Each structure stands twice: as structure tokens, then as C-alpha cells.
């Protein structure tokens, strides 16, 4: 992949947008309050799938790369369970906030202000997380092509995003941003939401006979949706993929 193709996935406007909100990351009632509610259910799912695939009893010692880590909400939670976490983000202010919080939490996360395009390919990880990131890049396929270079053989890739459906337009975009005020207005662009089939296509190539083969032998291990339970004021997993969902691949 050429340098121009690699750089294609960076969206400067998205970096600027999240830089302006960086101070809010660790405020449970601030602009990222929905992530504080969302975090427990997705971390539970991530850990469960890692244990199922690896056959281990814990994630202690497993190397994890968290791409687009923001203020470190996921990275810190997973590091506390014993994983060796490297968390990267292109927004310098996000990393500053994450490191500042780390002084209080004493977490072992290695935070780096960089992009996946700039990260050295000599580094390989057991698990790579792309959580709510791909809808903010300008070239999703180039992004996933680059990401695949950092996963060890038999490693695990997670891609979480929002599906591009009428339901997500009404609930994940308009309701979340303009009615419920879960996230700041303009956080998401509905046209950049991706369906599960599109993620699969980005991770796939055609062999010489035209048959679909996954890039680097990625196999879809599991896919799960997330929905907000208004009665319990929490998030739960679901088989419905119309809004938020996560895909777990084995390399």
C-alpha cells in the first residue's frame, strides 16, 4: 500500500471535532456520558469472546491495541483485567487527558499520540480493537487494510460501529444528538455509518476464480448488536443489528 493510500483514511475534521470535546472524556454526566453507560456491556462481550477463542481463563498478559482510544475509557478498563494494552489516538488532547487520568488510576496502559498509519508495522498484537472509529475515517477499506497488518496469526479483530439504517438515522443520529443529548450535535454522519455486510466486504478479497476469501484469513467468529434498555437504564446485547453492533473476527 502506498503512502497516499495509507493517509487516505485520516479525516482531519473528525480529529478537530474530538479535540474540542477531549476534556469531557472522564465526566460520567458530560458529553460522553453515553459511553460510560455503554462501556460495561461492550467490555464484557469483548472479554467473553477472547476467552472463548483462546480457551484461557483470563486475559492477563494478552496484548491489545486500542485504536482511536479517546480518553482511555476502554483501554483502562481492559488493562485493569490484566491485559497489556497499547492505546493510540490521533488527537493529542485525548492522549493528554488519558495520561492525566492515568496518574490517578495508576493504570498500565501505554498511550501513544499517533495514527494507525504512522504506527510501526513491527508491532503485532493478540487483539486489535476498532470501537466506534471506522465511521469517523475517510476511507474505511484503507483503514481496515492497514489495521490487519498489526494482528498476530490466530489473533482477534473487533470492529464496532453503527449500521446505516432508517432506524439508526432516527435513533442513533437525530434522537441521540438532538433530543436525548446523549452525544454532541454533529458527532455522527449517518452516511458514514456502515452495514455489517460492508465491513465484511472491506475485509475480503476475491480469489482468481472470483470466490470470496477473507483478507489474511479473517473468519467472522461472532456478531452482536447493542440496544438501550430504557426500563433498566442500561445497555444489553441483542441479535438485532439495526443500530450499534460489534463484529469479532479470528485471523
pLDDT at site 17: 57
- Tell me the mean pLDDT in the region 191-204: 89
Q: Where exactly are the structural domains of the chain?
A: 3-250
Strand partners, 35: none
Mean pLDDT of the chain: 85
> What CATH code would you report for 3-250?
3.40.50.150
Please determine, for residue 206, whether its predicted confidence score (pLDDT) is greater than 80.
no
Summarize the chain as % helix, strand, coil (round to 5). Answer: 40, 25, 35
- Tell me the mean pLDDT in the region 141-148: 93
What is the band of 18 on the pLDDT scale with cuts at 50, 70, 90? low
Please determine, for residue 5, whether its predicted confidence score (pLDDT) is greater than 90.
no
Enter the C-alpha cell of residue 121. 508495522
Q: How far is CA 77 from CA 9, 26, 185, 246, in A?
A: 27, 12, 27, 18
DSSP symbol at 175: I
In percent, how much of the chain has pLDDT > 70? Answer: 78
* Predicted confidence (pLDDT) per residue in 106-131, tens digit: 999 999 999 999 999 899 999 999 99
Please report how many Cα atoms fall inside a 13 Å half-sphere around the Cα of residue 131, on the Cβ side. Answer: 23
DSSP symbol at 208: T
Which range among 73-87, 126-140, 168-182, 211-225 shows the weakest confidence by mean pLDDT? Answer: 168-182
More confident call, 50 vs 215: 50
In percent, how much of the chain has pLDDT > 90? Answer: 63
Whether 143 contacts 159, CB under 8 Å: no
What is the band of 12 on the pLDDT scale with cuts at 50, 70, 90? confident
Please determine, for residue 230, whether its predicted confidence score (pLDDT) is greater than 90.
no
Amino acid at each position: 500500500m502506498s503512502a497516499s493510500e495509507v493517509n487516505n483514511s485520516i479525516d482531519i475534521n473528525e480529529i478537530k471535532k474530538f479535540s474540542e470535546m477531549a476534556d469531557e472524556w472522564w465526566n460520567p454526566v458530560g458529553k460522553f456520558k453515553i459511553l460510560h453507560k455503554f462501556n460495561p456491556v461492550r467490555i464484557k462481550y469483548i472479554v467473553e469472546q477472547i476467552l472463548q477463542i483462546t480457551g484461557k481463563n483470563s486475559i492477563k498478559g494478552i496484548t491489545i491495541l486500542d485504536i482511536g482510544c479517546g480518553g482511555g475509557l476502554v483501554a483502562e478498563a481492559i488493562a485493569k483485567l490484566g491485559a497489556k494494552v497499547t492505546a493510540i489516538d490521533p488527537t493529542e488532547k485525548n492522549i493528554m487527558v488519558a495520561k492525566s487520568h492515568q496518574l490517578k488510576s495508576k493504570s498500565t496502559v501505554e498511550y501513544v499520540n499517533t495514527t494507525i498509519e504512522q504506527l510501526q508495522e513491527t508491532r503485532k498484537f493478540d487483539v486489535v480493537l476498532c470501537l466506534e472509529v471506522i465511521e469517523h475515517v475517510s476511507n474505511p477499506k484503507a483503514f481496515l487494510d492497514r489495521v490487519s497488518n498489526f494482528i498476530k496469526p490466530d489473533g482477534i479483530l473487533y470492529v464496532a460501529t453503527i449500521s446505516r439504517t432508517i432506524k439508526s438515522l432516527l435513533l442513533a443520529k437525530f434522537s441521540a444528538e438532538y433530543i436525548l443529548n446523549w452525544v454532541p450535535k454533529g458527532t455522527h454522519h449517518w452516511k458514514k455509518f456502515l452495514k455489517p455486510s460492508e465491513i465484511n466486504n472491506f475485509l475480503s478479497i476475491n480469489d482468481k476464480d472470483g470466490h470470496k476469501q477473507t483478507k489474511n484469513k479473517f473468519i467472522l467468529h461472532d456478531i452482536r448488536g447493542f440496544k438501550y434498555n430504557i426500563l433498566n437504564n442500561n445497555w444489553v446485547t441483542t441479535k438485532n443489528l439495526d443500530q450499534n453492533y460489534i463484529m469479532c473476527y479470528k485471523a
